[in-house]
Amino acid sequence: MSYFIIFLVILAVSCLKLTDLNPKLLPLFDGEQERMTYKNKDVYAQIKVAGTSIDYPIAQHPSDDSYYLRHDVNQSETIYGALFTEKINRKDFKDLVTIVYGHSTNDGAMFGSLERFADSAFFQKNKRIDINRQDEAITYDIFSAYSYTDAHLFQTFDLGNSLAVPDYFETIKQISESLTGNYRDIGYTPDDRLLILSTCDIKDNGRRFIVHAKETNRVKVNQDTRKH
Protein backbone atom coordinates (compact mmCIF):
# COMPACT_ATOMS: atom_id res chain seq x y z
CA MET A 1 0.00 0.00 0.00
CA SER A 2 2.84 2.42 0.84
CA TYR A 3 4.28 2.00 -2.65
CA PHE A 4 1.09 3.28 -4.27
CA ILE A 5 0.94 6.24 -1.89
CA ILE A 6 4.52 7.21 -2.77
CA PHE A 7 3.76 6.80 -6.48
CA LEU A 8 0.73 9.09 -6.28
CA VAL A 9 2.62 11.70 -4.24
CA ILE A 10 5.30 11.82 -6.93
CA LEU A 11 2.60 12.26 -9.56
CA ALA A 12 1.02 15.14 -7.65
CA VAL A 13 4.33 16.94 -7.09
CA SER A 14 5.26 16.49 -10.74
CA CYS A 15 1.96 18.04 -11.85
CA LEU A 16 2.66 21.16 -9.84
CA LYS A 17 6.08 21.65 -11.38
CA LEU A 18 4.93 20.96 -14.92
CA THR A 19 2.43 23.79 -14.82
CA ASP A 20 5.13 26.23 -13.71
CA LEU A 21 8.09 25.27 -15.91
CA ASN A 22 8.46 24.99 -19.65
CA PRO A 23 11.88 23.52 -20.58
CA LYS A 24 12.91 22.47 -24.06
CA LEU A 25 12.07 18.87 -24.90
CA LEU A 26 14.92 16.53 -25.76
CA PRO A 27 14.80 14.37 -28.91
CA LEU A 28 12.81 11.24 -28.22
CA PHE A 29 13.99 8.82 -30.87
CA ASP A 30 17.11 6.98 -31.93
CA GLY A 31 16.77 5.97 -35.58
CA GLU A 32 13.68 6.03 -37.78
CA GLN A 33 10.27 6.03 -36.12
CA GLU A 34 8.91 3.93 -38.97
CA ARG A 35 11.23 1.07 -38.04
CA MET A 36 10.39 1.29 -34.36
CA THR A 37 14.11 1.45 -33.53
CA TYR A 38 15.01 2.72 -30.07
CA LYS A 39 18.23 2.83 -28.14
CA ASN A 40 16.33 2.31 -24.89
CA LYS A 41 15.05 -1.26 -24.62
CA ASP A 42 12.36 -0.14 -22.15
CA VAL A 43 10.52 1.42 -25.10
CA TYR A 44 8.13 -1.08 -26.63
CA ALA A 45 5.32 0.77 -28.44
CA GLN A 46 4.19 4.02 -30.03
CA ILE A 47 0.84 5.72 -29.35
CA LYS A 48 -1.03 8.24 -31.47
CA VAL A 49 -4.30 9.87 -30.39
CA ALA A 50 -6.59 11.41 -33.01
CA GLY A 51 -7.06 15.17 -32.87
CA THR A 52 -4.19 15.73 -30.44
CA SER A 53 -0.42 16.20 -30.54
CA ILE A 54 0.03 12.85 -28.77
CA ASP A 55 2.41 10.79 -30.90
CA TYR A 56 4.99 9.32 -28.55
CA PRO A 57 6.77 6.12 -27.58
CA ILE A 58 5.65 4.15 -24.53
CA ALA A 59 8.17 2.77 -22.05
CA GLN A 60 8.08 0.40 -19.09
CA HIS A 61 10.87 0.24 -16.53
CA PRO A 62 11.59 -3.34 -15.38
CA SER A 63 11.68 -2.49 -11.66
CA ASP A 64 10.80 1.16 -10.91
CA ASP A 65 7.29 2.25 -11.90
CA SER A 66 8.07 5.88 -11.07
CA TYR A 67 11.22 6.09 -13.23
CA TYR A 68 9.57 7.62 -16.29
CA LEU A 69 7.90 10.31 -14.25
CA ARG A 70 11.31 12.00 -14.26
CA HIS A 71 13.12 10.52 -17.27
CA ASP A 72 12.49 10.67 -21.00
CA VAL A 73 12.88 7.70 -23.33
CA ASN A 74 16.56 8.59 -23.73
CA GLN A 75 16.79 8.00 -19.95
CA SER A 76 17.74 11.65 -19.44
CA GLU A 77 16.29 13.47 -16.43
CA THR A 78 13.46 15.87 -17.32
CA ILE A 79 10.27 17.01 -15.64
CA TYR A 80 8.44 16.06 -18.84
CA GLY A 81 9.07 12.40 -18.17
CA ALA A 82 7.73 9.95 -20.76
CA LEU A 83 4.57 8.01 -21.46
CA PHE A 84 4.75 4.72 -19.59
CA THR A 85 2.96 1.70 -18.19
CA GLU A 86 3.54 0.06 -14.84
CA LYS A 87 5.05 -3.41 -14.65
CA ILE A 88 1.67 -4.79 -13.56
CA ASN A 89 0.77 -4.55 -17.27
CA ARG A 90 2.07 -6.81 -20.01
CA LYS A 91 3.81 -5.17 -22.96
CA ASP A 92 1.64 -6.85 -25.59
CA PHE A 93 -1.52 -4.93 -24.56
CA LYS A 94 -3.36 -8.20 -24.02
CA ASP A 95 -4.34 -7.50 -20.42
CA LEU A 96 -8.05 -6.80 -20.05
CA VAL A 97 -7.05 -3.32 -18.85
CA THR A 98 -3.86 -1.44 -19.73
CA ILE A 99 -3.14 1.99 -18.24
CA VAL A 100 -0.75 4.44 -19.91
CA TYR A 101 0.43 7.34 -17.74
CA GLY A 102 1.87 10.68 -18.82
CA HIS A 103 2.28 14.23 -17.55
CA SER A 104 -0.09 17.02 -18.50
CA THR A 105 1.95 20.03 -19.61
CA ASN A 106 1.12 23.64 -20.26
CA ASP A 107 2.71 23.51 -23.72
CA GLY A 108 0.74 20.47 -24.86
CA ALA A 109 3.62 17.98 -24.77
CA MET A 110 3.18 14.40 -23.52
CA PHE A 111 -0.47 14.14 -22.40
CA GLY A 112 -0.87 17.93 -22.37
CA SER A 113 -3.53 17.81 -25.09
CA LEU A 114 -5.51 14.92 -23.57
CA GLU A 115 -7.97 17.22 -21.81
CA ARG A 116 -9.34 18.30 -25.17
CA PHE A 117 -11.61 15.29 -24.71
CA ALA A 118 -13.40 17.22 -21.96
CA ASP A 119 -15.04 19.21 -24.76
CA SER A 120 -18.14 17.39 -25.98
CA ALA A 121 -17.78 18.41 -29.63
CA PHE A 122 -14.13 17.36 -29.71
CA PHE A 123 -14.98 14.08 -27.97
CA GLN A 124 -17.66 13.26 -30.55
CA LYS A 125 -15.38 14.04 -33.48
CA ASN A 126 -12.16 12.34 -32.37
CA LYS A 127 -12.50 8.69 -31.44
CA ARG A 128 -9.38 6.79 -32.48
CA ILE A 129 -6.20 5.72 -30.72
CA ASP A 130 -3.49 3.81 -32.58
CA ILE A 131 -0.78 1.80 -30.86
CA ASN A 132 2.04 0.31 -32.90
CA ARG A 133 4.32 -2.43 -31.65
CA GLN A 134 7.22 -4.03 -33.51
CA ASP A 135 4.94 -6.50 -35.26
CA GLU A 136 1.39 -5.32 -34.50
CA ALA A 137 -0.94 -2.42 -35.10
CA ILE A 138 -3.72 -2.01 -32.53
CA THR A 139 -6.72 0.30 -32.87
CA TYR A 140 -8.94 1.57 -30.05
CA ASP A 141 -12.18 3.56 -30.00
CA ILE A 142 -12.52 6.21 -27.29
CA PHE A 143 -15.78 5.99 -25.36
CA SER A 144 -15.31 7.94 -22.13
CA ALA A 145 -13.43 10.94 -20.75
CA TYR A 146 -13.70 12.69 -17.40
CA SER A 147 -11.86 14.16 -14.44
CA TYR A 148 -11.57 11.77 -11.50
CA THR A 149 -9.84 11.43 -8.15
CA ASP A 150 -6.16 10.50 -7.98
CA ALA A 151 -7.03 6.96 -6.82
CA HIS A 152 -4.84 4.22 -8.26
CA LEU A 153 -7.33 2.61 -10.65
CA PHE A 154 -5.78 -0.85 -10.75
CA GLN A 155 -5.86 -1.16 -6.98
CA THR A 156 -9.14 0.67 -6.34
CA PHE A 157 -11.16 -1.32 -8.88
CA ASP A 158 -9.12 -4.56 -8.78
CA LEU A 159 -8.52 -4.35 -12.52
CA GLY A 160 -6.12 -7.27 -12.54
CA ASN A 161 -9.10 -9.47 -11.68
CA SER A 162 -11.04 -10.52 -14.79
CA LEU A 163 -14.22 -10.84 -12.74
CA ALA A 164 -13.99 -7.20 -11.64
CA VAL A 165 -13.48 -5.64 -15.07
CA PRO A 166 -17.12 -5.92 -16.29
CA ASP A 167 -18.23 -4.12 -13.13
CA TYR A 168 -15.67 -1.41 -13.79
CA PHE A 169 -17.00 -0.96 -17.32
CA GLU A 170 -20.45 -0.27 -15.86
CA THR A 171 -18.89 2.08 -13.32
CA ILE A 172 -17.33 4.13 -16.12
CA LYS A 173 -20.77 5.11 -17.43
CA GLN A 174 -22.03 5.96 -13.95
CA ILE A 175 -19.00 8.11 -13.20
CA SER A 176 -19.20 9.86 -16.58
CA GLU A 177 -22.80 10.84 -15.91
CA SER A 178 -22.29 11.87 -12.28
CA LEU A 179 -19.20 13.95 -13.05
CA THR A 180 -20.63 15.45 -16.26
CA GLY A 181 -17.99 13.70 -18.31
CA ASN A 182 -18.28 12.52 -21.90
CA TYR A 183 -19.48 9.02 -22.74
CA ARG A 184 -20.67 7.00 -25.74
CA ASP A 185 -22.15 3.52 -25.59
CA ILE A 186 -20.00 1.14 -27.65
CA GLY A 187 -21.03 -2.15 -26.09
CA TYR A 188 -18.90 -4.47 -24.00
CA THR A 189 -18.17 -8.19 -23.65
CA PRO A 190 -15.98 -9.86 -20.99
CA ASP A 191 -13.33 -10.51 -23.64
CA ASP A 192 -12.96 -6.85 -24.61
CA ARG A 193 -9.67 -5.13 -23.83
CA LEU A 194 -9.69 -1.61 -22.41
CA LEU A 195 -7.04 1.09 -22.68
CA ILE A 196 -6.91 3.90 -20.13
CA LEU A 197 -4.91 7.10 -20.61
CA SER A 198 -4.29 8.85 -17.30
CA THR A 199 -2.78 12.27 -16.66
CA CYS A 200 -2.84 15.10 -14.14
CA ASP A 201 -5.95 17.28 -14.32
CA ILE A 202 -4.36 20.60 -15.23
CA LYS A 203 -7.29 22.44 -13.59
CA ASP A 204 -7.06 20.53 -10.31
CA ASN A 205 -3.75 18.97 -9.27
CA GLY A 206 -5.50 16.66 -6.83
CA ARG A 207 -7.35 14.88 -9.63
CA ARG A 208 -6.62 12.88 -12.78
CA PHE A 209 -8.04 13.30 -16.27
CA ILE A 210 -8.88 9.86 -17.65
CA VAL A 211 -9.72 8.68 -21.16
CA HIS A 212 -11.10 5.18 -21.76
CA ALA A 213 -10.97 3.29 -25.06
CA LYS A 214 -11.86 -0.21 -26.27
CA GLU A 215 -9.71 -2.29 -28.59
CA THR A 216 -11.47 -2.71 -31.94
CA ASN A 217 -8.78 -4.12 -34.21
CA ARG A 218 -5.40 -5.85 -33.96
CA VAL A 219 -3.36 -6.91 -36.99
CA LYS A 220 0.12 -8.24 -37.62
CA VAL A 221 2.31 -5.90 -39.66
CA ASN A 222 5.44 -6.25 -41.73
CA GLN A 223 8.07 -4.03 -40.17
CA ASP A 224 9.65 -3.29 -43.57
CA THR A 225 6.39 -1.88 -44.96
CA ARG A 226 5.11 -0.06 -41.86
CA LYS A 227 3.95 3.48 -42.51
CA HIS A 228 3.92 5.79 -39.52
Can 212 be counted among the known catalytic residues? no
The DSSP string of 162-214 is: TTTHHHHHHHHHHHHHHTT-EE------TT--EEEEEEEETTEEEEEEEEEEE
For 27-68, the DSSP string reads P--SS-GGGT--SSTTEEEEEEETTSS-EEEEE--SS-TTGG
Q: Which residue in the list 61, 103, 152, 212 is annotated as catalytic?
A: 103
DSSP 96: S
From the list 126, 145, 192, the residue with the least C-alpha distance to 165 is: 192
Burial label for 173, CB within 10 Å (0-12, 13-18, 19+), is middle
One-letter amino acid for residue 153 of the chain: L
Other C-beta atoms lying within 10 Å of the C-beta of residue 206 = 10
Which residue is catalytic, options 15, 71, 200, 212?
Answer: 200
CA atoms of 149 and 166, how far apart (whole Å): 21
Q: Catalytic site residue 61?
A: no
Alpha-carbon span 103 to 119, nearest angstrom = 19
199, 102 Cβ separation under 8 angstroms? yes
Active-site residue set:
103, 200
